[in-house]
Every structure is written in structure tokens, then in C-alpha cells.
């Protein structure tokens, strides 16, 4: 899968259970996505970002910064 800025709408791809457990602390907190989505569609771990982006995009973005 290749990601872009508009893919953030699809929450199973931008969060996962591992990062969800890290950011949750004791106290009051609010779900920003439905329980069904958390339980049934959220991946355990995300694939590395380098494998989710087009290599050409990474190269061009780094060349622009130089």
C-alpha cells in the first residue's frame, strides 16, 4: 500500500494497537474512532513507513530539501 496525505481519513492505516497502547494513560480519555474499528479493523503493528511510500516520492522530497 502506498500512502498519501489524504489517506489519514482511513484510520486503520494511520494507527495501530501497539501505538494505541503506548499513548493511553490512566485517567479520562475519549475514543476518536468507533469500538468496532478498533476491535475488527485495526492492525496489530504498522508496516515500516519506507514500504508504505513510493520510493520516487522519498527521493524527490529529499532532493528538494537539499
Q: What is the pLDDT of residues 15-58, one digit of tens each?
A: 666 666 666 667 766 667 666 666 666 666 666 777 777 888 87
Tell me what pLDDT residue 63 has: 75
| More confident position, 10 or 20 | 20
Tell me what pLDDT residue 54 has: 81
Tell me what pLDDT residue 22 has: 61
Number of domains in the chain: 1
Q: Supply 24's cell numbers.
A: 493511553
Cβ–Cβ < 8 Å for 59, 9? no
Q: Which domain holds residue 11?
A: 5-65
CA 55 to chain centre: 18
pTM for the structure as a whole: 0.25
What does the alpha-carbon distance between residue 33 and residue 42 come to, in Å, rounded to a whole number? 10
pLDDT at residue 6 above 50?
no
What does the alpha-carbon distance between residue 46 and residue 16 come to, in Å, rounded to a whole number? 6
Whole-angstrom Cα Rg for the chain: 15
Amino acid at each position: 500500500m502506498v500512502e498519501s496525505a489524504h489517506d489519514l481519513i482511513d484510520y486503520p492505516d494511520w494507527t495501530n494497537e501497539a501505538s494505541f497502547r503506548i499513548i493511553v494513560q490512566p485517567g479520562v480519555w475519549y475514543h476518536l474512532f468507533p469500538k468496532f474499528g478498533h476491535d475488527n479493523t485495526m492492525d496489530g503493528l504498522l508496516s515500516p513507513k519506507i514500504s508504505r511510500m513510493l520510493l520516487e516520492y522519498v527521493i524527490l522530497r529529499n532532493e528538494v530539501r537539499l
